[in-house]
Amino acid sequence: MHISETTVRRPVLAAVISMFLVLLGLVSYDKLSIREYPDIDKPVVTVSTVYRGASAEIVERDITQILEDSLSGISNIKEIKSESKDEISSIRIEFTLSRDMESAANDVREKVSRAIPRLPKDSEQPRVAKSDTDARAILWIGFTSDQLDSIALNDYLDRNIIDRLSILPGVASITVGGERKYAIRIWLDPDKMSSRQITVDDILNAIKKENIEKPAGRLDSTDREISIQVKSKLSDIGMFNDIVLKNYGNKKIRLGDVAEIIIGAESDRGFLRANNKNAIGLGIVRQTKSNVLKVASAIKNELDLIRPSLPKNIDMFVGYDQSIFVNESIYEVRFALLISILMVIGVIYYFLSSSAATFIPAITIPVSLISTFYVIYILGYSLNVLTFLALVLAIGLIVDDSIVVLENIKRRIENGEKSFNASIEGAKQITFVVIATTLVLVSVFLPLSFMGGKTGRLFIEFGVVLSFAVIFSSIVALTLTPMLCSKLLKDNTKAKKEPILISKFRNFYKESLLESQKNPKRVYLFSIAMIIISMLLFQVIQKELAPTEDRGIFIISVKGPEGSSLSYTDSIVRQVEKTLQPYVMNNEINTIFSIVAPGFSGRPGEVNSAFMFTTLTDWGTRRHQKDIVREIFPQLLTIPGARVFAINPPSLGGSRFMPPVQLVISGNNYDDISEWGNTLINESSDLKIRNSNIDYKITSPRLNLKINRDKAYELGVSAESIARTMETLLASNQVTTFSKDGLTYNVILQADKSFRVNGNSLDNIFVESSNTSLIPLSNLVTYEETSTSQSLKRINRMPSTIFSASLAPGYPLGDALKDLISVTSSSLPANAKISFSGSSKEYFESGNSLVITILFAILIVYLVLAAQFESFRKPLAIILTVPIALTAGLYTLFLTGASINVYSQIGFLMLIGLITKNGILVVEFANQLREKGMSVDEAIFESSLIRLRPVLMTTISTLLGAVPLVLSSGAGAESRYAMAVVVLGGITLSSLITLYLVPALYRLLERK
């Protein structure tokens, strides 16, 4: 017995099947996590190592290369990137997508631990983290105080806030912007030291000997045991001042005689301002694979618990919250889903003019949608923007099956059949069409599962969710819909007069179809001409990775000249803040976080750089972010003495504060890549790119010291003693620790700032000779001023530099990369290895894979149709309409000025399924009519007219499902528009053409 007949005869069974699916869906929905995107995080582990006082070259040689050598043996590594800067090494290890994150992190920890004995003793312990070095904080919390200084404020956060937030689930780390940790700063006076015959080694040894605390054993008596501890740990400034260094004459020389000892900040190389007030910022960096919304919610809940206990003299505020954009974006899609359902139901009522008939799809749509949540849960997916988009765009497809079944049953009733028999026979007659179209739609999205990289992971959930929504709709259409028809549609119902617009269109179509059958060449030539023109349009349509979204934040990068001071950079930042003030006053900018020398959490930063992230007010109260940035951009370019430009954050991730254009130049040495990078800057100057730059520039000033080894040997001064003296006085030396109220802080030695001005300062530095006399360092060394690079990058263990640039308005990423490739081919030598990074890399990976996926989808659809029709020729009448659908999509992009990107390409995939679905309706019914004895011409003509109503209903339903996405605004509207506009324009134009093309192709192929 046919399944539809069974459910018509057993209505309770049909109802129970649907109720069971709904129940599973509702229970699953409550357990689903909500996030912005599917899990597209790459398996990335980072290793960071601080080496105080070391130059970038020393860091690379003594730390980075040693760790790279150790890490390279780990399996499934896709890419190793490293960056060596003054005092810090950062290594980013990206694994293949199949690699388990925990296992990868454990392997990295093991390799790092084995390499530690080969690292310099003075370097800090390498830190291994399951997060990207480019990971952006999902939340910034600002703290200000009118009464506490920054050091006291930082200490309060250390003691009361940071640990509470860092242990929350999903938090990888807390980055501290503008950090001011407590420390005892010992500012040495080289003049006083030399006059008292005190060397750096004297001070180092004295502090280490005096500041100890060790167990000294125990006393045992007959009835008790007492442990002994020597309390010699120094705990305040006075105790450090009193440390005896040596006797000079008849007087004890104490540390306080040759140094100023104060409680100060561990580092003053950088600070943070929030809305022009000095602040400490806590940036919440989530773990790779963690859920943005869950982490942000946990943090904000904890802040609510913290706020009542916060001292009155400390203000706390959230300066940036990524989850706001995510929640707003998902809300917009949910709203579009509701609007789409209501609009589709309205269309059905307009066509059928029957409340009872309209009630049937009004029931089947939610059943199909809700059932899909069960599959999302079982597969471990999440509710995100793309899964909701899939459900919105699936509405037209979901209702399609019910419409086809309902329309066929209703037509049979109007022709005189009883509703019971019409429901059974009508469903049977249309079963092939329902199954065929379902298989075709599933086949269209099947290739997404073979896509690799971020794009594949991004859209596989979209394809799977949409496919299962269609599968459930076919099940409901063949079970619940016939049963409802048998109960709700009355016998002897006469056909109501068609709406006037449909009637007029039907008459027009009938006449024009007859005319096209007489002159089918016109249809062929028109279609071919459209395809040829679309090929030309493809060349001029903008191409990019993803549209620029209004995410409620933009970033300003500030880069001063190499060697510029912290105060100089701050003066530039203040000019930028002044430029932004009018936008604060007109309520477009909400918060300005200015971070000068962004090192974060104890890691040294570059004092000539800064970044400012600027959060905007609510979407409905201001202009589009892109318009604001476009207006600000030229104003920033006029600020003299620095490179200042604004960046719209990438929609699909990418480098944290890097422009979209990122081309990597690799070679055997840094001299070559520097030359090649500068050549590329010069040769690309005519392109429409802005702020072109390479990150390897030999412009940072350096003083190179050369030891006269013979003279040093004669005087008994070792190179080690010279280096140690220089490190302590000029680089700062963390020599010991002290405890304060239960926490441990560093004690740092360094020469007073007045002795660290220029090369002449060497005259004030002394080292001890073998006969204990003090020798001026200037007698043992010579120096010269040179230049070096602040940063040394290696990609897959090759010296590399990144050429970066921003885009001029109207100059898409695809065109920029195409032009740059042309420039590199003509201007760089063959041994220059060119690759891409960030958004540029994702653009190429996604573009190539999606084109292949579209071609693969067309092939699979053809094979599925061939299997269903048991013919390789019959499906050609359907599959040859696919180029028209793709062509219509291209016309839509050209006319609307939209770009080809990952979202619009998914829209093209949907067009393949939609257009073939309409073709199946016509061709399959024509085949049935031919089996009854009609000729080819009569069958296709009659089928085209009879199937016109369901074709129009399903087409318009699909269009209306996309309309709310095209008209939407607010968070994430740009990406929704990119996908929906292709569907809207593409299916409109291609459906009109294929109304004539399918009959013409059918007649052409079936007559042979």
User: Does 863 share its domain with 927?
Assistant: yes
Given 744, 770, 788, the domain boundary residue is 788
The CATH number of the domain holding residue 617 is 3.30.70.1430
* pLDDT for res 601: 46
- Give 152-197 as a DSSP string: HHHHHHHHHTHHHHHTSTTEEEEEEET---EEEEEEE-HHHHHHTT
| Distance between start and end Cα atoms, the chain | 37
Q: Is residue 105 part of a domain?
A: yes
Extract the tokens encoding 1002: 């059918």
Q: Positive or negative, the Cα torsion across 375, 41, 554, 804? A: negative
**Closest to 80 in 3D by CA, of 800, 831, 848, 849:** 800
- 537 and 412 in one domain? no
Q: Which CA distances in Å does 708 have to 316, 362, 769? A: 56, 91, 14
Q: Are residues 53 and 80 in the same domain?
A: yes
Gyration radius of the chain over CA positions: 36
* Count of all residues that appear for the chain in the document: 1008
d(CA 883, CA 881): 6
Which of 491, 512, 528 is at the close of a domain?
491
The string of pLDDT tens digits covering residues 915-969 is 887 787 788 778 878 877 788 778 888 888 877 777 787 788 777 777 888 887 7
Residue type, 708: N
Asked, for residue 242, whether it belongs to a domain, the answer is yes
> Could you tell me if residue 909 is inside a domain?
yes
> What is the model's pTM?
0.73
My answer on whether 389 and 400 are in the same domain is yes
Asked if the structure places residue 328 within a domain, the reply is no
- Please give the Cα distance from 908 to 911 (Å, whole number): 5
Q: What is the pLDDT of residue 494?
A: 60
Three-class DSSP labels, 863-920: HHHHHHHCCCCCCHHHHCCHHHHHHHHHHHHHHHCCCECHHHHHHHHHHHHHHHHHHH
CA distances from 827 to 679, 686, 802, 820, 821 (A): 7, 14, 17, 10, 10
351/344 Cα distance (integer angstroms)? 11
Same domain, residue pair 663 and 746: no
Q: How far is it, in rounded angstroms, from Cα 166 to Cα 175?
A: 10
Does residue 540 sit in the same domain as residue 674?
Answer: no
* One-letter identity of residue 902: V
**Residue 251 placed within a domain:** yes
Q: Are residues 853 and 935 in the same domain?
A: yes
Q: Where are the beta strands (DSSP E) in 574-688?
A: 589-596, 609-616, 643-647, 661-666
Whether residues 70 and 108 fall in one domain: yes
Q: Which residue in this structure is represented by tokens 């899964």?
A: 387
Same structural domain, 724 and 690: no
* DSSP SS3 for 666: strand
Q: Looking at the domain assignment, is residue 705 inside a domain?
A: yes
Rounded distance, CA 906 to CA 902, Å?
6
* Residue 350 main-chain phi, psi, to 5 deg: -60, -40
pLDDT along the chain (1008 residues), means of 10: 75 86 88 77 84 83 90 85 86 83 87 89 84 70 87 88 88 83 86 84 84 72 72 78 82 87 81 85 80 86 90 87 83 80 78 76 85 88 82 77 77 76 78 78 73 69 84 85 80 63 79 80 83 82 78 86 83 90 89 78 69 85 86 87 82 63 87 87 82 78 79 81 79 77 81 71 74 78 78 88 80 81 86 83 69 79 81 82 85 84 81 80 79 80 79 78 78 81 84 82 74
Domain assignment of residue 121, given as a range: 43-131
Do residues 706 and 821 share a domain?
no
Q: Which of 770, 973, 761, 943 is nearest to 188 (CA)?
A: 761
For 376-459, strand residue ranges (E) read none
**CA torsion sign, 621 to 622 to 626 to 632?**
negative
858 in the same domain as 830: no
Structure tokens at 199: 């060397």
**698: how many CB neighbours lie within 10 A of its CB?**
14
Kindly give, in sequence order, each residue whose CB lies less than 8 Å from that of residue 582, ignoring residues fewer than 6 positions away. Answer: none
CATH number at residue 188: 3.30.2090.10
Asked if residue 719 is part of any domain, the answer here is yes
Distance CA(517)–CA(267), nearest Å, equals 83
Give the pair of three-digit tokens for residue 937: 């011409």
Domain count, the chain: 5
Q: φ, ψ for residue 784 (rounded to 5)?
A: -140, 145
Among residues 788, 809, 825, which one ends one of the domains? 788
Q: Which residues pair with 214 in a beta bridge?
A: 230
Based on the fold, state whether residues 572 and 615 are members of the same structural domain: yes
pLDDT value, residue 64: 92
Report residue 331 as tokens. 């809300």
Pairwise CA distance, residues 659 & 804, whole Å: 6
**Does a structural domain hold residue 290?**
no
Chain-centroid distance of CA 951 in Å reads: 40
